[in-house]
Amino acid sequence: MSLALSGTALTGAVRREELMLRVGKTVAITFGCLGVVLMYGPVAWLALMSISERPLTGKPGPFTLSWYEKLFADLRWLDPLLTSLGIAAIVSILCMITATAVGRTLPHIGRTGAWLLLLFLLVLFIPGVMLGVDFVMFYRLFLGIRTGLWSLILAHFVWAFPFALLGVIVVAGRFDTRLLESAADLGAGAWRRFRDIEMPLLFPGILSAGFFGFLLSLNELPRSIYLRGGATTLPLFQWAEAASHTTMVPLIYGLSTLITIASLALTVIALRQLFKGDAA
């Protein structure tokens, strides 16, 4: 008896294989598209609403730019935006510095590093609202720190730091520390070794730490609710206005659309910067 398949059986097997492959491909594409629609559908719909005459009905059209005109006539949102941008910029810089300092060390100190990383990342699993309450309890009631701009910066930094750290660690783990030895051997002191060799090679990670810090701070709401003190950030403003059933609501649609477009543009620029470094 021959173990080889006969000609027709073989063709059958090949056909079945091809069919499976085609089915698999279709399923993958379907779910992929579904995911994209679920993620970006609401954003696109919001954008559509922002140029519709009666956005609160939830139906598009007829189209108009009047909400945007009103948005730029009533600039109450400008102060919260500037506050948010300022906080985000500070958090971003803090993230770059601290994530670099911690991230460059952790991959090279063995088991201690792994435990420390776990410790740094664990905070991600605490619900944001709870963390906000915890912060108020600990910082304001126990340590006596006044809430306001600085408590917001602190909370946003604690929130963004684990992400920023991940950005640096991914790059730092691949960094060949022997390069620092060869730099020392060529006469470079500790600072020059960092500036000339380590920092340029970690730069994609440092940059991503900065972007994480910036974007996470810019969009942060749950912790900010508790720690705002007298300060109002853009998400707080949007949230308050969207919840208040005032005439401001349609304006928020326009504002959100603009912020989203700006964020996306920033992200695209950041990613291009990152990969430009890689390709060189």
Q: For binding to another protein (CB under 8 A), which residues are involved?
A: 176, 178-179, 181-189, 192, 196-197, 200-201, 280
> Residue 43 is which amino acid?
V
What torsion do the CA atoms of 222, 227, 229, 234 make, to the nearest 10 degrees? -40
Cβ of residue 80: shortest distance to another protein, in angstroms?
41
CA 220/CA 238 separation, integer angstroms: 12
Q: Which residues contact 28 (CB under 8 A, 6 or more apart)?
A: none
Assign residue 199 a region (left: φ > 0; alpha: ψ between -120 and 50; beta: otherwise).
alpha
CA 33/CA 159 separation, integer angstroms: 31
Cβ of residue 171: shortest distance to another protein, in angstroms?
12
Of 182 and 246, the one with the shorter C-beta distance to another protein is: 182
Of 26 and 182, the one with the shorter C-beta distance to another protein is: 182
Of 22 and 195, the one with the shorter C-beta distance to another protein is: 195
Cβ of residue 182: shortest distance to another protein, in angstroms?
3
Cβ of residue 160: shortest distance to another protein, in angstroms?
27
What CA–CA distances, in Å, run from 117 to 120, 239, 264?
5, 34, 29
Percent of residues in the chain assigned helix, strand, coil, to nearest 5: 80, 0, 20
Of 90 and 171, the one with the shorter C-beta distance to another protein is: 171
The token pair that represents 202 in the structure block: 């970690």
Of 89 and 274, the one with the shorter C-beta distance to another protein is: 274
| Cis peptide bond upstream of 62, omega within 30 | yes
Length of the chain: 280
Cβ of residue 275: shortest distance to another protein, in angstroms?
15
Of 93 and 201, the one with the shorter C-beta distance to another protein is: 201
Cβ of residue 196: shortest distance to another protein, in angstroms?
7
